[in-house]
């Protein structure tokens, strides 16, 4: 985890307030307690102040974000919203942006090709990984 100096607490505060308003959540003891944290901890996040790293996942849950979203926001990335699963009690599903999945698949394929083949140009590796991602999408796997 980056040091406090590397974190953008003001950015997280803004995103957390915005998300709380989207969800129509009151910043109160009842909601905070349901998430396993205190109202004071939640207020610190929204004031742009640091909290214990173990509490960020509780704030993620409170804001219906995938675990790790607060830390991602602190590092300049976007939080990933989650939604309740239709067939599982107390489970949430994270809606990961498609471009993240595509980019990750391309990176994995490129690294595998670099590690296992020789003589391919960077352009050939790029073309093959793009083709593989298209094929995976066509097959409904990503």
pLDDT tens for each residue of 108-141: 787 777 777 778 788 888 888 888 888 877 777 7
User: To which residue do tokens 């909601």 refer?
Assistant: 31
Contacts of 126 (CB under 8 A, 6+ apart): 110
Phi, psi (5° rounding) for residue 25? -90, 135
Instruction: Confirm if 92 and 83 have CB atoms less than 8 A apart.
Output: yes
In this predicted model, what pLDDT tens digit does every residue of 10-57 receive, in sequence order? 999 999 999 999 999 999 999 889 889 999 999 999 999 999 988 998
- The helix or strand, by DSSP H or E, that contains position 78, with its residue range, turns out to be none
DSSP element (H, E) containing 92: strand 92-94
CB 27 within 8 A of CB 39: yes
Residue 83 phi/psi, 5° resolution? Answer: -135, 155
Q: What single-letter DSSP state applies at residue 85?
A: -
Q: Does the pTM exceed 0.85?
A: no
């Amino acid at each position: 985890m980056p040091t406090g100096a590397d974190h953008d607490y003001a950015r997280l505060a803004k995103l957390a307030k915005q998300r709380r308003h989207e969800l129509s959540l009151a910043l109160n003891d009842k909601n905070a307690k349901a998430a396993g944290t205190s109202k004071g901890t939640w207020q610190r996040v929204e004031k742009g102040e640091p909290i214990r790293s173990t509490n960020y996942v509780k704030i993620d849950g409170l804001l219906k974000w995938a675990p790790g979203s607060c830390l991602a926001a602190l590092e300049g990335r976007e939080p990933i919203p989650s939604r309740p699963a239709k067939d599982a009690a107390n489970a949430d599903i994270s809606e990961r942006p498609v471009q993240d999945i595509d980019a990750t698949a391309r990176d994995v394929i490129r690294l595998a090709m670099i590690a296992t083949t020789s003589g391919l140009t960077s352009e050939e590796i790029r073309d093959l990984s793009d083709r593989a991602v298209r094929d995976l999408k066509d097959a409904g796997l990503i």
